[in-house]
Amino acid sequence: MNKPTCVTIGSDHAGYTLKCKIIVHLRECGVDTVDVGTHSTESCDYPEFAHAVCKNIQEGVTELGILVCGTGIGMSIAANKHRGIRAAACSDTFSARLTRLHNNANVLCIGERVVGEGLACDLVDAFLEAGFEGGKHQRRIDMIAAIEQSQH
């Protein structure tokens, strides 16, 4: 799969510095970004930014998103509350690649306090370069979607 031409990215204060570095990396790779904030290291609430990224995906502004907080965990929990969002907190490239290949994840969550800049950029590349394999994995995604539908 080719990298997308544009992704939505957001962070809270604990992920702001890494988010900025990821944006530079993406631009160097020819990928545009829609930056939904935050725009400083001033304390803020991560669910707001998870919601903004997920809303852009739900509305078709971009197909994929990246969220950065201290660990990536809070963002993934908040993002996964949105219909149609499959967010994964990853700190290794194998998981970042496989979450796209097998889980058709559409949001990558990264922890600034967990990974450094170099690994974060590798995670982003692995995530964006992988494509959903479909097949038996589609059946499982359909099962997840059915659970999601039954909860709303």
Separation between Cα atoms, residue 127 and residue 123, nearest integer Å: 6
Separation between Cα atoms, residue 16 and residue 31, nearest integer Å: 19
Of residues 3, 65, 58, the one with CA closest to residue 33:
65
| Catalytic residue of the set 6, 25, 51, 102 | 102
Of residues 73, 72, 143, the one with CA closest to residue 110:
72
Separation between Cα atoms, residue 68 and residue 107, nearest integer Å: 10
E strands, 12-106, where? 32-35, 65-69, 87-89
Task: Indicate if 39 belongs to the active site.
Answer: no
| Catalytic residue of the set 54, 69, 109, 121 | 69
Q: Is 101 exposed, middle or buried (0-12, 13-18, 19+ CB in 10 A)?
A: middle
Residues that are catalytic: 69, 102
